[in-house]
Amino acid sequence: MKKYQIVSVGTALEDIAFYTADAEIMKNPKNDPTKLKLIAFEYGAKIHSDEIFHSFGGGAANTATGIARLKVKNAALVNIGTDVRGDAIMESFTRTGIDTSLVQQDSKHDTGFSFLVVEKGSNEHVVFAHYGANKYLQVSKSLLKTFRTDWFYVSSLSMDHWSTVMRNLISTKANISWNPGSIQLKQPDIIKKLLPGITVLIVNKDEATELCLTSGYTIPRGKREANIRKLAQHLYALGSNKVLITNGRHGSHVYDGEKFYFAKPSPDRPKDTTGAGDCFGSSFTTGLVKFKGDIQKALHLGVVNSTALVGEVGAQHGLLTWAEAQKKLKRI
């Protein structure tokens, strides 16, 4: 029986990044605390780009790649098609050192892909995703008995039966870091029922606000935004063992029920924020493994790796090796 330190569960895609200066970043006029900023285009306009990049992405592919580069024994539990995109993803996994024993290959559905629109002024982006074979990933209890792992890192799940997948993962009693995606966030009541089985809940500030507002939290009158520490405490009370809330260039917070931890990225302007959340969350989880549960050191690993990532284009190109990460950690 194979034994891993971390198994990444979720999506694997081909990414196409479309850079344009024709987009506008604007505050949401509806004053919606869950959607503070929007990327907008002129209605009916033809949008141009002089920069297009092809790479690999998807939450599980991104996190497995980052974890492998940090020298942790890992595997990717994903579903891809038996097509050119799927073959390329498998080659990338093998080249990176990701165990492919758990990869499912689907002859009935095509490999997923995503189209990212990046605003060149700020390098912020939106993602249009076609999940394809990812929607048909099977994570049965019988499959989970064929291997062992200390941790599961679960990113966005695209299948309708995602809650069953989560319950099956929780039943293994392994540690679970969970970064729920848009499909999960639309069903907050189910998320809240699952949180007692989660070791680390990973969300950005907007997602944390959205979850909290559906479970009794209210933003104080006169305040446009929620306080991150209050959000973390509220989410912790719902059952997760630790709560990690990322807030872009403003830094990231962890709450373990007793203490708050904080780390802030470098002030350098990011070139591309695609995959930054995947990188930070998986690096933090890898740090918990590498540093035997030291939350502050794990946060610093998340900072140095995600800072390196956003300095390059794509969700995987800037990821650090363990040797590179160690050198950067010594400077903190």
Structure tokens at 147: 């291997």
Whether pLDDT at 139 is above 70: yes
Adjacent-strand bridge partners of 244: 202, 254
Which uninterrupted H or E stretch holds 118? strand 111-119
The DSSP symbol for 265 reads -
The pLDDT confidence band at residue 222, using thresholds 50, 70 and 90, is: low
- Among the listed residues 133, 195, 142, 136, the one whose alpha carbon sits nearest the alpha carbon of residue 170: 195
| Predicted local confidence at residue 93, as pLDDT | 97
Lowest mean pLDDT among 68-77, 121-130, 195-204, 323-332: 121-130
The mean per-residue pLDDT over the stretch 175-199 comes to: 96
- In this structure, the dihedral spanned by the alpha carbons of residues 307, 312, 315 and 318, taken in order and rounded to 10 degrees, is -70
Which uninterrupted H or E stretch holds 260? strand 260-263
User: Are 73 and 94 spatial neighbours (Cβ–Cβ below 8 Å)?
Assistant: no
The mean per-residue pLDDT over the stretch 222-249 comes to: 89
| Predicted local confidence at residue 225, as pLDDT | 63
Adjacent-strand bridge partners of 286: none
Residue 14: which domain range? 2-329
Report percent pLDDT > 90 for the chain.
75
The DSSP symbol for 225 reads S
What does the pLDDT look like over 45-55, one tens digit per residue? 999 998 888 88
Number of domains in the chain: 1
- How far is 200 from 275, CA to CA, in rounded Å? 19
The pLDDT confidence band at residue 154, using thresholds 50, 70 and 90, is: very high
What does the pLDDT look like over 258-304, one tens digit per residue? 999 999 887 777 776 778 899 999 999 999 999 999 999 999 999 99
Length of the chain: 332
Whether pLDDT at 159 is above 80: yes
Q: Is the dihedral of CA 95, 96, 100, 105 positive or negative?
A: negative
Whether pLDDT at 21 is above 70: yes
- Provide the total of helices (H) and of strands (E) in the chain, helices listed first: 11, 16
Adjacent-strand bridge partners of 124: 119
- How far is 226 from 230, CA to CA, in rounded Å? 8
Which uninterrupted H or E stretch holds 9? strand 2-9
For the domain that residue 148 is a member of, what is the CATH number?
3.40.1190.20
User: Are 154 and 67 spatial neighbours (Cβ–Cβ below 8 Å)?
Assistant: no
| Predicted local confidence at residue 273, as pLDDT | 74
Helix/strand/coil for 185:
helix
